[in-house]
Structure formats: C-alpha cells, structure tokens
Structure 1
C-alpha cells in the first residue's frame, strides 16, 4: 500500500510536531477508523511512541502519522488537516470516500 494515499497538510504537520515535541515518549500521531459514531464510522486520534510492523507511515516537515492497514482502506485519498478557527482547534480529515458526515466532524459513512 502506498504511503501517498493519505496526505498531511502543512498546518497539521506543524501541530503534530509541536504536540510530540512536548512528550518525550511519543513520536507520532496515530489516526484510526473505528465502527460507531453517528454516521457509522469515526476517526480516532492518539499519540504513539512506535509504529507497529504493518503501519502505514506518513511524514512531513518532521511530523509523523501512523495509520493501520484496516483504517487506510477507509481513508485512501484523504488529507489530514489542522483547523484553528472561532469554533476551536481540531484535526480534520477531508475524505473523498465519505458519502455522509455529521456535525461533529469525526463521524462519517462510506
């Protein structure tokens, strides 16, 4: 599986690098897709110290994102972005495979 199937925006890379710099035991942001949420699937974000042997590793500007093989199936072609606006700060995934999503921004259906 190509690591180019998911991209990382410049804003997301900057934020991930800043977050992991504050925690010596963590070196990457893990993004996964889980069943549930109000639209069928939801994104989960965690900090992680080491990639698993089968993780897809995406790097940009000193930031690393880890995605497991099952999650990448639902995320192919997506961009991970970081948004900072009047509503708050959050990581957002622009997923071309999602046919519906909900107001929370972390739940989608395919």
Structure 2
C-alpha cells in the first residue's frame, strides 16, 4: 500500500511523517552532522497495554525494511512493525504544554492510562 506524504510524494512505508516532524528530524540530524541515519519507527512488546513504539535514528538497513523519503529524512519501518503502523501519522508538536514527536495510529484499539503503550 502506498500513501502520500504532506509534500505529495508517494511512499511505501504506510506511515506519514508530517512536514513539522520531518523538519525537526532533519534539524536534529544536521545538528549532529549526520546524513547517514534513518528515522526508524518500530513496535516492540512492552508497556501495560502490550505494545510500545520506538522512534530513533538508526544506521542499519534491515532485511525487509520499507522506507520513504520525507523532506530529506528517510523513514524506515521493519517488516514486523509495518502492519501495526500502517496509516499512522508521526508529527512533532511544540507547545507550552507538550514538546516532542507524537504518533497517531488508527490501528491502536486502546492505550494505557499513561499513554506509553497501546494495543
């Protein structure tokens, strides 16, 4: 399945990285002087609801990865996590109440009270 990112570029990751999230990730990479890293989203067992997101910079390319380019940032999703994040949107918010990356996932049927994990 392909979806379009906000810039109109098709990607096979099934995940949308908003312009704000791509810009923040690019700024962090530029600050470190790294252009060889991908932003990876992965789903791992854990948390009180059963599954937990991991969002991190990665220099590895895993067998079966699906990738997409968003504003000069490569987003990577491993083949085991892809079904769990299909259709998800990664955004970056910077308000007085909250700062950081957020993940809006239509596949999540519930989450724990602290918001750290989902099912």
The higher radius of gyration belongs to 2
Could you tell me which runs of 5 or more consecutive residues in structure 1 were left unpaired when the two chains were aligned.
Answer: none
Query: How many residues align structurally?
Result: 109
The answer as to 2:19 corresponding to 1:10 is: yes
Q: What is the rounded CA distance, in whole Å, between the counterparts of 2:99 and 2:113 in structure 1?
A: 15
Provide the secondary structure at the position in 2 that maps to 1:87: coil
Could you tell me which runs of 5 or more consecutive residues in structure 2 were left unpaired when the two chains were aligned.
Answer: 3-11
In the alignment, which of 50, 55, 64 is matched to residue 45 of structure 1?
A: 55
The answer as to 2:53 corresponding to 1:31 is: no
Which TM-score applies when normalising by structure 1? 0.86
Which TM-score applies when normalising by structure 2? 0.80
* C-alpha deviation, 1:4, in angstroms: 4.9
Provide the secondary structure at the position in 2 that maps to 1:11: helix
Q: What is the rounded CA distance, in whole Å, between the counterparts of 1:82 and 1:106 in structure 2?
A: 17
Asked if the contact 1:78/1:96 (under 8 Å) is kept, the reply is yes
The alignment's C-alpha RMSD in Å is 1.8
Q: What is the rounded CA distance, in whole Å, between the counterparts of 1:94 and 1:84 in structure 2?
A: 16
Deviates most, 83-92 or 21-30 = 21-30
- Misfit runs of 4+, over 6 Å: none
Greater percentage in helix: 1
Q: What is the rounded CA distance, in whole Å, between the counterparts of 1:13 and 1:24 in structure 2?
A: 16
Greater percentage in strand: 1
